[in-house]
């Protein structure tokens, strides 16, 4: 029995020794740290630089390392001057499980000296690709706005200019609904999308104490047909939130010659007055 145990122990020790001989010491990785990504825009044609970038996607030496939640410290098996590409990641439709590279933000590229065992911090600044088309922009800063209430509405869109309530700039949009003025449906001015050749997203900032819906009205000139399609229901948010809403599939399914964003809300019994704050609408595509 003792002899058998000793032989087994010798075999185990030999196996570990053999592994050490066959497998050399693992390569020591370098580390890339990204705290956040800064977005810059040409406000006149691209609107607000507000963003909610949740992830960074990293490539080193033309090899995709992966996507990582920000802030991120990522090990990479590379050393010396290496080309590093960083792409901005968002939560599509605000869903944690749909983390994607946002195709409209440019890729940050830099030669970085990587040293094994050391952390290299990168502070990337990105903007929109020059090929991005802004089909609709509304920041509520001018005297009027590009939304109109439909005849079904009993409430209306107004403005708020209290700095404590405004998202940025001098004004934000505000919808108040109560037991008397309990419903709103408002539509944007029309925009045109080249169907089948593009990705289409809506960007917007909002905060609210009750749910509301973002919808899409598709219009066909021939026959005068219009289809109103619910896209997403947004839940109460105590603080301002940014969301990236994917319109690609509904636009492809609905078709149409032109489209209108639609906001719809009905007062909920859970609040004495429903309040929906809105800012920085964008419809972007390529």
Q: Is residue 14 part of a domain?
A: no
What is the predicted pLDDT for the residue at 32?
98
Residues 59 and 188 in one domain: no
Do 137 and 120 share a structural domain?
no
Residue 4 lies in a domain: no
pTM of the complete model = 0.87
Domain of residue 67 covers: 30-126
Q: Which one of 100, 126, 152 terminates a domain?
A: 126
205 within domain boundaries: yes
Query: How confident is the model at residue 60, as a pLDDT?
Result: 97
* 193 vs 149, residue with greater confidence: 149
What's the rounded mean pLDDT across residues 32-58?
97
Q: How confident is the model at residue 24 (pLDDT cuts 50, 70, 90)?
A: low
Q: Do 145 and 122 sit in the same domain of this protein?
A: no
* Residue 40 and residue 140 in one domain: no
Please state the domain count of the chain.
2
Sign of torsion, CA 220 221 224 228? positive
Whether 174 shows a pLDDT value over 50: the answer reads yes
CATH code where residue 277 lies:
2.60.120.200
Question: Is residue 155 located within the same domain as residue 229?
Answer: yes
Residue 98 and residue 144 in one domain: no
Shared domain for 141 and 111, answered yes or no, is no
Same domain, 191 and 93: no
Average pLDDT on 62-91 reads: 96
- The answer, yes or no, to whether residue 27 has pLDDT greater than 90, is no
The CA distances from residue 95 to 54, 126, 212, 254, in Å, are 11, 23, 17, 23
Averaged pLDDT of the chain = 90
Asked whether residue 11 is domain-assigned, the answer is: no
Instruction: Check whether 2 has a pLDDT greater than 70.
Output: no
In a domain, 8, yes or no: no
- Please tell me whether residues 145 and 189 are part of one structural domain: yes
Kindly report, residue by residue over 179-237, the tens digit of the pLDDT: 999 999 999 999 998 766 679 999 999 999 999 999 999 998 766 788 999 999 999 99
Judge whether 16 lies within some domain.
no
Query: Is 226 within the bounds of a domain?
Result: yes
At 238-272, the pLDDT tens digits run 999 999 999 999 888 888 889 999 999 999 999 99
Which stretches of 15-115 are assigned E, i.e. beta strand?
Answer: 30-34, 38-39, 55-60, 63-69, 72-76, 80-91, 99-101, 108-114
pLDDT at 217: 95
CATH number of the domain encompassing residue 51: 2.60.40
Whether residue 160 is found in the same domain as residue 230: yes
Burial of 201 from C-beta contacts in 10 A (0-12 / 13-18 / 19+): buried
* pLDDT at site 225: 80
């Amino acid at each position: 029995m003792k002899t058998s145990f000793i032989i087994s122990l010798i075999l185990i020790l030999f196996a570990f020794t053999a592994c050490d001989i066959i497998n050399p010491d693992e390569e020591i990785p370098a580390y890339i740290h990204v705290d956040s990504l800064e977005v810059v825009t040409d406000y006149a044609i691209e609107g607000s630089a507000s963003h909610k970038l949740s992830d960074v996607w990293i490539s080193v030496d033309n090899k995709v390392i992966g996507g990582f939640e920000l802030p991120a410290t990522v090990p990479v098996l590379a050393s010396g001057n290496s080309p590093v590409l960083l792409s901005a990641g968002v939560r599509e439709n605000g869903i944690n499980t749909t983390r994607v590279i946002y195709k409209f933000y440019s890729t940050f590229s830099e030669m970085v000296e990587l040293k094994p065992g050391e952390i290299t911090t990168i502070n990337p600044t990105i903007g929109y690709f020059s090929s991005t088309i802004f089909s609709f922009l509304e920041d509520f800063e001018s005297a009027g706005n590009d939304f109109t209430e439909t005849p079904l509405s009993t409430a209306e869109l107004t403005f708020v200019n209290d700095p404590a309530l405004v998202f940025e700039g001098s004004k934000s949009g505000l919808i108040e609904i109560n037991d008397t003025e309990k419903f709103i449906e408002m539509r944007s001015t029309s925009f045109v999308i080249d169907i089948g050749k593009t990705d289409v997203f809506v960007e917007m900032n909002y905060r609210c104490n009750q749910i509301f819906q973002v919808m899409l009205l598709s219009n066909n000139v021939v026959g005068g047909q219009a289809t109103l399609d619910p896209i997403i229901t947004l839940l109460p948010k105590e603080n301002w939130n940014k969301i990236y809403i994917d319109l690609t599939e509904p636009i492809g399914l609905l078709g149409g010659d032109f489209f209108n964003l639609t906001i719809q809300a009905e007062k909920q019994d859970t609040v004495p007055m429903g309040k929906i704050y809105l800012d920085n609408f964008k419809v972007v595509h390529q």
